[in-house]
Structure 1
């Protein structure tokens, strides 16, 4: 049912608003607590690191619980985070309440995806998953910039109030619109963890990791790049973020349709942006119209990256949807961390104009993993008939 997918999407908006909503207010937080901007950045990096390290284990531990209850507990934790943070607590407490929901973020995503496809026909599942993942693009266009705008209008605490309100709406929707969904047959830990020994799944995981690293080596510094490399002011950059996000919503919808027909082909198509976009950004140089067109292409090819990564990994482990997706979330967050770290190092040592080329290198690595996976599967298919 599409209703379940839209409820999952609403919760995803709350999750992303909490995770990335802090980006726009880091300078204000640093000033308020009289700390450096890199220390304030721990609010983001610690969140991502907790997800990366604990996601699969938390998903395994909660795999036997009613999915509705899991989703409620997860969103409630995000609500608590926003509520406590809005009172500007001591920094150690702010950090603690930021970290707590990170333990349940992959659990929420895995549960929301499982609920969305629970009653769907096989050929409709990827489309329903794309609806859930659209929560990322929608949040980046609406609640995340709105929370930042509100903080500029009044103070940074109001940004967390917006996050609290979004979480409350999602909590109410899950409670009253989603039926109880107990797990009918709990899979053993061994049967789920066994996918880690499958070369096909390992190669799909590396594809995911390099893909997200490629995109975030530049996307993490989107505003800085457009300002210093393309000469855009803050107002123009905010317009570009809006264009980027709106196109992203459309791209997720298209990707969902394409994934239903061909998962590897769709993944490769959107991954090509990690190679195409750096070249186009270089060619566009200082031409404003050309740069805006490239940003549109960038937004279209980048936005379904998490959807593509998850679907590509799940397709290599169809019997372990939730665990495979939690691994996709974990390795995706590791990719965010690595991409942001290397991109920052390049900016300090070479300049922000070189960050897209880092993405190109990791994009080529992702493509090489896809090629290796294809060769491995082709070889296995040719061997199987010989055994019969």
Structure 2
């Protein structure tokens, strides 16, 4: 049991480190813009690029893993991750910073997909939903503690130090992973490389992967610009933004934790009412854009609803792979992070277009359109395509 707990903590720590690296841009957006004398929208572009590269590279690298030992692959990808964050810290200009973020994004997705593959492997059957929820909670813990702390430290010591700290933490986590996790785990190879793609012909999968795209996309239309909304529009200090980011992180942590509860009992069906709540929050953000407490309350609701279907979807993808596409196990385990990041890319890109052409007060309407699409997709998958199955 002690070994299982230690292994679980290491997997959570990997997710925490990945979350810190991905989300820290939100907290230091203003500092980077000041350093390189560029606009908020240009720095916000880093979020889009990171998420897009993440989404594109993850399935490709997952397919290339084949039957290689996953522990061996983890050493390579985390090593590249460490180098990418080190380069971010040393970047002399915005172009080099962008390149460093691309390098980091290239391996972040396959790193979490391998982590998720280990999670059910080390857990008893009754704890599979629990451990998957906790591993994904590593991202929320990064939002609760890591990103606000990084934002605060950035104000004191500069944003470059934050990327050095992330690189150092990743090195420590990698050493712990090598000591504690089994070295024999690998996916079942197919006879042909192309067999791993067969899972993407399954209608259940094709509809299922749209849910995180619409869900996270809707939230990130607004959340990408939370710092300028609070500072430039409402006039709050960076210290207040740090506190608000802590509250948002706590909300997203509850989202991840409650997702385990949903996954244990008709998770997709039960998530519908929460997507409805998210839709209302989006609309209120635009309709009441000059009322600070309404906007902040709506963003916190988004934080609570953002990951609610995460554990359900992760187990949904993996259960289909285990039953019908065993050669695609690592690829299936990467679907949630892949399409969540695709959603982040779509949402942040839409947000940039909306801010540039319509203004920040229209962000909520853009987010609502994506959330409504996710609500419909979830309803159709649950009550039509899966009505004779036990998934969701």
TM range (shorter): 0.7 to 0.9
CA offsets 1:18-72 (integer angstroms, 9 cap, x no match) = 2222343344444444555555555443322221222111101114222222222
The equivalent of 2:349 in structure 1 is 341
Correspondence for 1:172: 175
Does 2:206 match 1:198?
A: no
Indicate the residue corresponding to 1:258 in structure 2. Answer: 262
RMSD, aligned CA: 3.0
Greater shift after overlay, 134-143 or 79-88? 79-88
Q: Distance in 2 between matches of 1:303 and 1:362?
A: 15
1:327 maps to which of 335, 339, 360: 335
Contact 2:196 2:331 in 1 (8 A): yes
Residue equivalent to 1:138:
141
Distance 1:217 1:81, change over 3 A: same
Alignment of 1:151-300 (within 5 A): 151-183=154-186, 185-188=188-191, 189-227=193-231, 232-281=236-285, 293-300=297-304
1:109 aligns with 2:112: yes
Q: Which moved more, 1:231-240 or 1:303-312?
A: 303-312
Task: Encode CA deviations 1:326-362: one digit per residue, 9 max, x unaligned.
Answer: 2332322221122112222223333322212222221
Deviation at 1:245, TM superposition (A): 0.7
TM-score normalized with structure 1 length: 0.86
State the partner residue of 1:75.
Answer: 78
How far the C-alpha of 1:175 sits from its partner, in A, is 1.9
Deviation string 1:166-211 (CA, Å, 9 cap, x unpaired) is 2122112212222313326334544431121111211112222222
Once residues 230 and 29 of structure 1 are traced to their aligned partners in structure 2, the CA distance between those partners, rounded to angstroms, is: 21
**Does the C-alpha gap of structure 1 residues 87 and 205 become closer, same or farther in structure 2, counting only changes over 3 Å?**
closer
Secondary structure at 2:90 match in 1: coil
Contact 1:264–1:312 (CA<8 Å) still a contact in 2?
Answer: no
CA, structure 1 residues 294+215, in 2 after alignment: closer, same or farther (shift >3 Å)? closer
1:232–1:316 CA distance, 2 compared to 1 (3 A): farther
TM-score normalised by length of structure 2: 0.85
For 1:8, the equivalent position in structure 2 comes to: 11
Q: Given the alignment of the two structures, is residue 127 of structure 1 paired with residue 145 of structure 2, yes or no? A: no
State the alpha-carbon separation in 2 of the partners of residues 329 and 213 from structure 1. Answer: 13
Query: Aligned equivalents of 1:237 and 1:146: distance in 2?
Result: 11
What is the CA-CA distance between 1:93 and the residue it aligns to? Answer: 4.2
Contiguous gaps of at least 5 residues in structure 2:
none
Query: How has the CA–CA distance of structure 1 residues 163 and 305 changed in structure 2, closer, same or farther, with 3 Å as cutoff?
Result: farther
Counterpart CA distance in 1 for 2:97 and 2:359 is: 33
Change (3 A) 1:231 1:147: closer
Deviation at 1:139, TM superposition (A): 1.0
| Aligned equivalents of 2:123, 2:218: Cα separation in 1 | 33
Q: How many residues align?
A: 381
Q: Is this contact kept in 1: 2:262–2:312, CA < 8 A?
A: no
**47, 50, 54: which is aligned to 1:47?**
50
After the TM superposition, which of the residue ranges 133-142 and 117-126 deviates more from structure 2?
A: 117-126
Question: Residues 187 and 330 of structure 2 are in contact (CA less than 8 Å); yes or no, is this contact kept in structure 1?
Answer: no
Where 1:107 maps in the other structure, the secondary structure is helix
Deviation at 1:259, TM superposition (A): 0.7
Flag the 1:266–1:66 CA change in 2: closer, same or farther, 3 A.
Answer: farther
Q: Distance in 2 between matches of 1:241 and 1:210?
A: 22
Q: Using a 3 Å threshold, how does the CA distance of structure 1 residues 316 and 371 change in structure 2: closer, same or farther?
A: farther
| Contact 1:67/1:182 (<8 A) preserved | yes
**Structure 1: unaligned runs, 5 residues or longer:** 382-388
